Amino acid sequence: MADSFDLIIIGSGPGGYVTAIRAAQLGMKVAIVERELLGGICLNWGCIPTKALLKSGEVYEQLDHLADYGLSVEKRGFDFDKVVQRSRKVSAQLNAGVTFLMKKHKVEVVMGAARLEKGQGAPTVVVGDRKLTAKNVIIATGARARTIPAIGLEPDGDRVWTYREALVPKSAPKSLIVIGSGAIGLEFASFFRALGSDVTVIEALPRILPVEDEEVSKAAHKAFEKRGLKFRVPANVKKLTKTKSGVAVEIEVGGKAETLEADVAIVAVGIVGNVEDLGLEALGVKVEKTHIVTDKHGATGVPGLYAIGDVAGPPWLAHKASHEGVHCVEHIAGLKPTNVESPIPGCTYTTPQIASVGLTEAQAKEQGREPKVGRFPFRVNGKAIASGELDGFVKTVFDGKTGALIGAHMIGAEVTEMIQGYVIAMTCEATEAELQGAVFPHPTMSEAMHEASLDAYGMVLHI
Ligand code: NAD
């Protein structure tokens, strides 16, 4: 039957479309339902287009330092429209790539909003006037920006933006207030600052990037301030109102009231799962704090119904969604997937970049792991000096009893590319001995990763 499948996936972000490919490889007849664009938020409104904007900002900001490299330029400038257009083009290219991949793997793409209804086995998926049935259904509907209407943190697309509007503005605002210092807030803060905006970031918790290791947070704060970013931390947002030409944000910082004004405000205070209008309640699917509750295989408890990625809870990261999806579909196929609980790295693509995996030093102490901690700064690394990239450091956290690498934290140029070395080490359950015995190419900034592992055991070489 045309409308009967082995697997239907709702949502085509990096959770949904990667799961569809893996399911097709396993011989399943697959349909994927998407209400907007193939590739989801990540490819179209998130990870990818922000990286394109950030690259433009980074290159432009580098021009400030040309003299350090013995170079000069006659006239610097940018065409904001072209910067945005490039970012949109990058998204369009990847969106076309997902279309190609779906075709290649014979995955049927059904455009429209899906609703679930009680079925014979797994729920039936209703899209417009089509009723699709399958042995199994995976919900991969993702998440969207959280808003706080009570204090005015409700984006209007004009002067109060979420990431959506921030990706396609008509011009770079002269002044900007960013509410929230997580990855989304700081990446936009970093980009607009690079193009010259006057940017103030407001964070409710005691430090910026509160999920990162405290030393990294502190170093990031200092490095961002050096680039001209301003912070109000910790600050309580009382009210956001629109003024004649922009916005006013009333805050309380250190017990004192203050009003900040700017052209635009970006609200980046977290995300909520897309659980609405799916018919979950009638099916008895358990939802907690806007996320679908699942077991470690993604099962919701309703026969044949699974959920993966952002809609199934934190960490809200594209690579976590893909990993969960592949695992889920291999489990459905009766395979015994390994690495169910692989360590999940986090990356923030600001200048400087931030990357981490596993436990922070504080978390390791809380767990009684008696951590052995190593550090190594880039300012004494040969490649970093040659490249003029002196900011930042690497920090490793080992379990004091077993020697297992249990956490790694980095800030500096291109650390988002380097963290994968530690991710593999942790996935393979490496100890200090393996990391110390590994050969790191010279000259590279990754040598700092080796040195931080040596430093944890008093064997650092270049300090
Ligand atoms: P987040 O939860 O990471 O950060 C939000 C920040 O806002 C927190 O630090 C929080 O304390 C603060 N906050 C909350 N309410 C506030 C208020 N009223 N006033 C001031 N500050 C307030 O959320 P996000 O940055 O919106 O990102 C959403 C998710 O998407 C995150 O899980 C993030 O990791 C993920 N993401 C990842 C990347 C990346 O990997 N580079 C990029 C973008 C988003």
Q: Which atom of ligand 1 is nearest to the CA of 46?
A: 43
- Within a domain: 285: yes
Q: Is the same domain home to 243 and 131?
A: no
Cβ(33)–Cβ(112) under 8 Å? yes
Q: Which domain holds residue 419?
A: 352-455
Asked if 319 and 48 count as a contact pair (C-beta separation under 8 A), the reply is no
Determine if ligand 1 sits within 6 Å of the CB of residue 17. Answer: no
Three-state SS for the chain is: CCCEEEEEEECCCCCHHHHHHHHHHCCCCEEEEECCCCCHHHHHHCHHHHHHHHHHHHHHHHHHHHHHHCCCCCCCCCCHHHHHHHHHHHHHHHHHHHHHHHHHCCCEEEECCEEEECCCCCCEEEECCEEEEEEEEEECCCEEECCEHHHCECCCCCCEECHHHHHCCCCCCCEEEEECCCHHHHHHHHHHHHCCCEEEEECCCCCCCCCCCHHHHHHHHHHHHHCCCEEECCEEEEEEEECCCCEEEEEEECCEEEEEEECEEEECCCEEECCCCCCHHHHCCCEECCEECCCCCCECCCCCEEECHHHHCCCCCHHHHHHHHHHHHHHHCCCCCCCCCCCCCEEECCCCEEEEEECCHHHHHHCCCCCEEEEEEHHHCHHHHHHCCCCCEEEEEECCCCCEEEEEEEEECCHHHHHHHHHHHHHCCCEHHHHHHCCCCCCCCCHHHHHHHHHCCCCCCCC
The answer on 122 and 19 residing in a single domain is: yes
Does residue 233 line the site of ligand 1, with CB under 6 A? no
Residues 323 and 206 in one domain: no
Instruction: Give the strand pairing for 143-145 and 271-273.
Output: antiparallel
Residue of the nearest CA to atom 18 in ligand 1?
237
Q: From the CB of 344, is ligand 1 less than 6 Å away?
A: no
**Domain boundary residue, one of 223, 252, 269:** 269
**Is 344 domain-assigned?**
no
First to last CA, the chain: 69
Q: What is the pLDDT of residue 1?
A: 54
**82 and 140, same structural domain?**
yes
Asked if the model's pLDDT at residue 105 lies above 70, the reply is yes
In a domain, 313, yes or no: yes
For residue 340, pLDDT over 80 is answered with: no
Residue 462 lies in a domain: no
Q: Is 327 a catalytic residue?
A: no
Q: Please check whether residues 257 and 210 belong to one and the same domain.
A: yes
167 and 78 inside one domain: no
Residues 276 and 132 in one domain: yes
pLDDT tens digits along 123-171: 999 999 999 999 999 999 999 999 988 888 788 889 999 999 999 999 9
- Specify the residue with its C-alpha closest to ligand 1, atom 12: 180
Q: Which range has the worst mean pLDDT, 92-106, 154-168, 414-428, 429-443? A: 154-168
In a shared domain, residues 134 and 282 = yes
Q: Provide the domain count of the chain.
A: 3
Residues 205 and 248 placed together within one structural domain of the fold: yes
Task: Tell me, in angstroms, the distance from the centre of ligand 1 to residue 437's CA.
Answer: 37
Is the pTM above the cut of 0.95?
Answer: yes
What are 289-325's pLDDT values in tens digits? Answer: 999 999 999 999 999 999 999 999 999 999 999 999 9
337 found inside a domain: no
Q: Based on the fold, state whether residues 162 and 250 are members of the same structural domain.
A: yes
Domain boundary among 253, 269, 285: 269
Task: Determine if ligand 1 sits within 6 Å of the CB of residue 182.
Answer: yes
Is the CB of 268 within 6 Å of ligand 1? yes
Q: Are residues 382 and 436 in the same domain?
A: yes
Is the pLDDT assigned to residue 338 strictly greater than 80? no
Is the pLDDT score of 2 beyond 90? no
Atom of ligand 1 nearest to the CA of 148: 18
> Which domain CATH number covers 278?
3.50.50.60
Residue 174 gets the label, from left (phi > 0), alpha (psi -120 to 50) or beta, of alpha
Distance from the alpha carbon of residue 209 to the mean position of ligand 1, in angstroms: 8
Do 296 and 409 lie in a common domain?
A: no
Candidate of 153, 269, 289 to mutate for ligand 1, largest count of ligand atoms within 8 Å of Cβ: 269
Q: Is residue 370 part of a domain?
A: yes
In angstroms and rounded to an integer, the radius of gyration of the C-alpha atoms of the chain is 23
- What is the per-residue pLDDT across 347-382, written as a single tens digit (0 to 9) for each? 999 999 999 999 999 999 999 999 999 999 999 999
- Residue 463 counted as domain residue: no
Query: Residue 461 domain-assigned?
Result: no
Catalytic residue chosen out of the listed positions 319, 442, 450, 462: 442
Domain's final residue, options 251, 269, 287: 269
- Measured in Å, residue 7 CA sits from the centre of ligand 1 at 33
The yes-or-no verdict on residue 83 having pLDDT over 80 is yes
Asked whether 184 lines ligand 1 (CB < 6 A), one says yes
Range in 149-153, 249-253, 283-287 with the lowest mean pLDDT: 149-153
CATH assignment at residue 373: 3.30.390.30
| Residue in 186, 316, 322 to alter for ligand 1 test, most ligand atoms within 8 A of Cβ | 316
Summary mean pLDDT of the chain:
96
User: How much is the average pLDDT of 72-89?
Assistant: 97
